[in-house]
């Protein structure tokens, strides 16, 4: 079976059931493209190609597969941190290429994206388990970013991932410790190397990597402040010190009095330990929280040590990152405005703070409404009715 149908500067050769060859001409140069689908779909695709030529947006056919393109994109991407790129590669290798990688980049269609979402949500995880909507959304964003680059390079005309939204994510309440749990946690850690770290994490709401990279030169015990200037990032290749990626990440955090007291005692014990080991006094560039030999705590190892310790000591089972959340929650409960909380956390935008801690702000707002009602009824309890 081989029939032809011309469409001005283009035509369709039918090669079999749902198999066609598209032909068209741009600037005197002829192009062909295999197409699998109905005749009507082939006609629609040909019209799109001809229109793109008329609009000056024609992209020459290319045999590059999505898998090959994404690998090349990742190899040449320089705008992301090594940690981010490591995660991108993991998602591409595990969730994108096994399902969509064999498709020619230029042949990828929105319907395939929608089917891919459904597949991942149904059985895209380990051993055929469902993936969460959050993970699928993350994978979708990686694909979208990669295709956006292909559009910029004029390898494709449009980003088909833009046509299909990622799955909706149900807001999940963050993991926090209430004030009683914080007290019990710190009391249970007394004498453990994690105690000063936990006190500092709750007192400053600093991130894990920021705590691991903190040097004594950034701590002002007299002025009760600490400067956040760098962070420790861990990847499979090792660790590296990096600067905050946003201006708001560079910040000065005030220290509560009890945190200053704990830091003074921690520095005294650190000095004694170093002198016993013959390492001398800690210098300004030495780390505040480190291993016995002065080397840094690797962020992932710190989290693992934390998880093992709280289980062994039968303390509240929360992640190390929950200490940052608990600190932020306490600030919100104390009535600090979103701008002040955002600056202390180092968020680039207060909207991020509102999104992450929406439940805490909702509670605070409820208390505000009660306070307003009390004010409106007057000191003598007079009703407005």
For the chain, the structural domain boundaries read 3-54, 66-162, 179-353
pTM of the model: 0.75
Helix then strand then coil, % of the chain, to nearest 5? 55, 15, 35
Residue 51 binned pLDDT confidence (cut-offs 50, 70, 90): confident
Output the CA angle 140-142-145, nearest 5 degrees: 110
**pLDDT, position 62:** 77
Q: pLDDT at residue 299 above 80? A: yes
What average pLDDT does this structure show over 318-324?
Answer: 96
Q: What is the mean pLDDT of residues 274-278?
A: 85
Using the predicted structure, report yes or no on whether residue 305 has a pLDDT greater than 90: yes
**Mean pLDDT computed over 125-139:** 93
The token pair that represents 157 in the structure block: 């005309």
pLDDT for the residue 169: 85
Q: Does the pLDDT at position 381 exceed 50?
A: no
Question: What does the pLDDT read at residue 374?
Answer: 60
Summarised one tens digit per residue, pLDDT across range 168-220 is: 988 777 889 988 899 999 999 999 999 999 999 999 999 999 999 999 999 99
Instruction: Share the mean pLDDT of the chain.
Output: 88
What's the CATH number for 179-353? Answer: 1.10.443.10
The C-alpha atoms of residue 75 and residue 333 are separated, in whole angstroms, by 46
Cα 215 to Cα 286: distance, rounded to the nearest angstrom: 5
pLDDT at 385 over 70: no
More confident residue, 157 or 67: 67
User: First-to-last CA distance in the chain?
Assistant: 85
Confidence at residue 6, expressed as pLDDT on a 0 to 100 scale: 46
Residue 292 has pLDDT above 60, yes or no: yes
Query: What topology is assigned to 66-162 in CATH?
Result: DNA polymerase; domain 1 (1.10.150)
């Amino acid at each position: 079976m081989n029939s032809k149908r011309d469409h001005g500067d283009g035509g369709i050769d039918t090669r079999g059931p749902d198999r066609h060859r598209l032909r068209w001409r741009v600037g005197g140069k002829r192009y062909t493209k295999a197409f699998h689908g109905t005749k009507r779909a082939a006609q629609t695709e040909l019209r799109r190609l001809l229109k793109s030529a008329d609009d000056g947006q024609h992209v020459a056919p290319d045999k590059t597969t999505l898998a090959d393109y994404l690998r090349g994109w990742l190899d040449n991407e320089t705008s992301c941190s090594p940690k981010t790129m490591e995660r991108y590669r993991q998602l591409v290798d595990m969730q994108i290429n096994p399902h969509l990688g064999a498709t020619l980049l230029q042949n990828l269609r929105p319907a395939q994206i929608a089917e891919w979402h459904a597949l991942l949500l149904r059985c895209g995880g380990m051993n055929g388990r469902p993936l969460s909507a959050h993970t699928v959304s993350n994978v979708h964003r990686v694909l979208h970013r990669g295709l956006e680059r292909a559009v910029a390079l004029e390898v494709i005309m449009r980003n088909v991932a833009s046509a299909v939204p990622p799955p909706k994510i149900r807001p999940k309440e963050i993991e926090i410790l209430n004030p009683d749990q914080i007290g019990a946690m710190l009391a249970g850690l007394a004498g453990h190397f994690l105690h000063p770290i936990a006190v500092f994490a709750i007192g400053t709401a600093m991130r894990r990597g920021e705590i691991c990279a903190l040097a004594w030169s950034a701590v002002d015990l007299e002025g009760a402040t600490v400067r956040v200037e760098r962070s420790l990032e861990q990847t499979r290749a090792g660790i590296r010190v990096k600067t905050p990626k946003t201006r708001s990440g560079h910040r000065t955090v005030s220290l509560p009095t009890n945190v200053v007291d704990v830091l003074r005692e921690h520095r005294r014990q650190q000095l004694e330990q170093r002198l016993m080991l013959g390492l001398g006094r800690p210098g300004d560039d030495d780390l505040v929280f480190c291993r016995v030999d002065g080397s840094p705590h690797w962020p992932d190892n710190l989290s693992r040590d934390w998880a093992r310790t709280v289980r062994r000591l039968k303390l509240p089972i929360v992640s190390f990152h929950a200490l940052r959340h608990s600190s932020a929650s306490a600030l919100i409960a104390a009535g600090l405005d979103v701008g002040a909380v955002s600056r202390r956390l180092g968020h680039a935008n207060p909207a991020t703070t509102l999104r992450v801690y929406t439940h805490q702000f909702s509670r605070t707002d409820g208390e505000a409404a009660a306070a307003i009602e009390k004010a409106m009824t007057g000191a003598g309890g007079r009703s407005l009715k």
